[in-house]
Amino acid sequence: MTSEQTVGMASLPWNDTTLPVEDRVAALLGELTVAEKAAQLGSYWPRPQEDSADGDVAPMQSAFEEGRRDLAGTARDGLGHLTRVFGSGPVDPATGAQRLRELQRYVVDHQRLGIPAIAHEECLTGFTTLGATCYPAAIAWGASFEPELVAAMATRIGNDMKAVGVHHGLSPVLDVVRDYRWGRVEETMGEDPYLTGTLGVSYVRGLQDAGVIATLKHFAGYAASRAGRNHAPVSIGPREFEDVILVPFEMAVRLGGVESVMNSYADVDGEPPAASYRLLTQILRDRWGFEGTVVSDYWAVTFLQSMHRVAETRDDAGVLALSAGMDVELPETSAFFGLADAVRSGRLAEDVLDRAVARVMRHKITLGLLDPDWVAAPPTADRVELDSAGNRALARTLAERSIVLVRNENHALPLTAGAQRVGVIGPSAVQARTYLGCYTFPNHVLSRFEEHGAGIDLQTLVDALDAELPQATLRHARGVDFTDLDLSGVPEALEVVRDSDVVVLAVGDLAGLFGRGTSGEGCDVVDLALPGAQPQLVDAVLTEAQRLGVPVVLVLITGRPYAVGDFVDRTAAIVQAFMPGEEGGAAIAGVLSGRVNPSGKLSVGLPALRGGQPGTYLGPPLAISDDGVSNLDPQPAYPFGHGLSYTTFEVADLGVSADSMPADGTVLVSATVRNTGDRAGAEVVQLYLSDPVAQVVRPTRWLSGFAKVDLAPGAAARVTFEVHADRTSFIGLAGHRIVEPGDVEIALGTASDALPLTGRFRIDGAVREVGEGRVLHTPATVVPAPH
């Protein structure tokens, strides 16, 4: 932007930083033509020339190639968003920043009012661009049970994005897992809405504290699709929808102050969220008070015509979505091209258009895009370090704190410090991309550009163990690959078993997109067997090891939980690492060696059965009880919240501040957690509530509060949870949220099935209908306790 333009901008009311934001927005709305208003709700995806490799990075991307408009055709009257300038191809920060400057210059220079576009990028496990830090996947954040670490990570992600000129991030995912077969389980924080909401609030605050807008995904119901199939219909009752699916989103809106929300692709009982006035306006805005922008998932507006078939034409789809409460069409303008004509013809009221434009302009103003000193990308963007030492240190800490020690018979772990022969077997031992989620740049984009490698330093588990155990002799064999059924490498793996004192068997996932991986978007599965020929490898190794008396440590590096029922009793130990990110090798090796004392907890249960689709822990008695009326036992091998340590903990001395409370009261629930072992460690104290008698069927228990506590050997802490009556509320028979009088059972411990402390309190009085703004959080305080 020239200095002459900058001086001129300062004299215009929407560029005047001394005016209130709403005055600047009103001035813009009064100046913009209908065509210019509509253009501010669209977007353009500047796909780089080198992005010609096979394979979409968004659903049905190739189907929209024909007829797509270029930048000149899209931004003639202005532009709302620029899509993934950094995240669509292998672009270094300097090149990406220069592209962003050129694109913004074009957008500003080729419209009457010179309004820049918002630049958005994916940021689920870090800034999705070449050379940026790849943090653990969201499913690992859940296993950490550490909101503070998630917030710190999100702030670092936001700082890196802002440093190169990005304003808006498409994360976090707040879908609650209902079916483990769904490919995008790795993108979620697990199967509990309270855990998901608490960590989601932390991510939102962290990213937005850095000055980057966070976006909640996918609003709502996406993860509850039939048979765990991507984009499949969702058949769900209003009670489950309100009490499970919506909870994390409401927490992020009310407690996190999130500025953006993205719709779900799936239809919910025949209603596509992209066209749902009930979801996008009545619930999100009227009930919860959301004031930000609703952005479409990629091509979701056009899907109203082509996939959902609730609109006859694309233009109709655009009017339908905007009227429901959609504000911005991503990743490219398509259905919204018809909005101006719809206003002129009377099919769309101009005040509906103005409503969305005002929201977008409010963001552009608060982001500084209309300030006189605005620049497209800071001068320092050309030399920013996107994988700094500080980033990597935090990535390693989060990885270490998320790894779950699932089983440890006879103290098989940690591995002994003396010299020994360690066999390392399995595809996850020799392919470091197994640590990375689907939306990391190496798996999301670079997997199609093999000449670029991973773009960051990665260490295989074999190499990490070699560095971690310098006195040991390591032999390794892949055995099988992730997906094919070739068993020709199994004999070599068995030779390694015969030559080992202990075997580390590392199996799991290699994330990808739309069937190009074993986990990730569009990588759904028919059952919960390990991918490819890995079950045969595990069985063969365990059989041979059992014959020889060689202990086997099964290391699962996965994005979803896989069935372990066939293997449990034959392993010496099981370690679950949910896609631990770029520092995953060192983190896993540290746990195996004992340098790291594991403290993660399962954010999804590990099922015993491959089929039969075990449900999550959050179910009523009919869903989870083994009552003998079916030949299928739904109990998991290891449930939600489970996780061991190299030290021991005791949770004791339950305290309940009152025997009863009113229907709008609060009770304090407390206990002492003590490290009874001989080394420092961390334990997650978990509080569950149960409703023994209710007017509707309720879950057998639900997580109401948690606190992760670090303790030295012999040390203790008193953990107190402040439980408001709203935390017992549910949707009653009449369809309203209520607090019902009666007994509430308390269970407190270290996993959903390890709850040694039990008690109860009573809610007195009449049924209370709970209005909007209910208490969504259970504060926990931790204070040292005497030895």
Angle formed at CA 174 by CA 169 and CA 175, multiple of 5 degrees: 130
φ/ψ of 573, rounded to 5, equals: -155, 155
Residues in the chain: 787
Q: What is the DSSP letter of 520?
A: S
pLDDT for the residue 6: 46
DSSP codes, 263-305: E-SS-BTTB-GGG-HIIIIIIIIIIT---SEEEPPTTHHHHHH
As a whole number of angstroms, the distance between CA 529 and CA 510 comes to 15
**pLDDT of 57 above 70:** no
pLDDT tens-digit map of 297-319: 999 999 999 999 999 999 999 99
Q: How many CB atoms lie within 10 A of CB 388?
A: 15
Calculate ∠ Cα 548-407-475, nearest 5°: 45
The per-residue pLDDT for 11 is 76
- The whole-number pLDDT of residue 614 equals 64
Interior angle at CA 462, CA 129 and CA 125, nearest 5: 25
Residue 4: band (very low, low, confident or very high) from pLDDT cuts 50, 70, 90: very low
Start-to-end CA distance of the chain, whole Å, equals: 66
pLDDT of res. 449: 76
pLDDT category of residue 353 using cuts at 50, 70 and 90: very high
CA–CA separation, 404 and 639 (whole Å): 12
**pLDDT single digits (tens) 484-496:** 999 999 999 999 9
Question: Comparing 455 with 656, which gets the higher pLDDT?
Answer: 656
Percent of residues, the chain, with pLDDT higher than 90? 88
Q: How confident is the model at residue 62 (pLDDT cuts 50, 70, 90)?
A: low
pLDDT band at 633 (very low <50, low <70, confident <90, very high): confident
Question: How confident is the model over 7-19, as a mean pLDDT?
Answer: 79
Q: What is the pLDDT of residue 623?
A: 84
Rounded to the nearest 5°, which phi and psi values hold at 172? -95, 165
Summarize the confidence of residues 212-217 as an average pLDDT.
Answer: 98
Does residue 248 have a cis peptide bond before it, meaning omega lies within 30 degrees of 0? no
Q: Encode pLDDT of 318-342 as tens digits.
A: 999 999 999 999 999 999 999 999 9
Here the tokens at position 341 are 């004509």
- Give CA torsion, residues 567, 588, 194, 439, to 10 deg: -100
Q: Is the pLDDT of residue 398 over 70?
A: yes
Ranges assigned E (strand) in 640-786: 649-656, 660-662, 666-675, 681-690, 702-711, 716-724, 730-731, 737-739, 742-749, 757-764, 768-769, 780-785
Q: Which amino acid is at 689?
A: L
Q: Is the pLDDT of residue 7 over 60?
A: no
- Residue 66: pLDDT band with limits 50, 70, 90: low
Q: Measured between alpha carbons, how far is 692 from 697 in angstroms, rounded to an integer? A: 10
Residues 275-296 have a mean pLDDT of 98
Measured CA to CA, the distance from residue 684 to residue 755 in angstroms comes to 12
To the nearest whole number, what is the mean pLDDT of the chain? 94
- Residues 403/587, Cβ–Cβ less than 8 Å: yes
pLDDT for residue 135 is more than 90: yes
Task: For 412-471, write each residue's pLDDT tens digit.
Answer: 999 987 769 999 999 999 999 999 999 999 998 988 777 668 899 999 999 999 999 999
pLDDT attached to residue 51: 47
**Does the pLDDT value for residue 60 go beyond 70?**
no
Q: Is the dihedral of CA 558, 561, 567, 569 positive or negative?
A: positive
- Give dist(CA 627, CA 593) in Å, integer: 41
Q: Is pLDDT of 631 > 90? A: no
pLDDT at 665 over 60: yes
567-624 pLDDT tens trace = 999 999 999 999 999 999 999 999 999 999 999 999 999 999 998 666 899 998 888 8
Q: Report whether 579 contacts 560 (CB < 8 A).
A: no
Instruction: Identify the pLDDT of residue 1.
Output: 44
User: Residue 55's pLDDT band (boundaries 50, 70, 90)?
Assistant: low
pLDDT digits (tens, 9 = 90+) for 371-391: 999 999 999 999 999 999 999
Per-residue pLDDT reduced to its tens digit, 681-707? 999 999 999 999 999 999 999 999 999
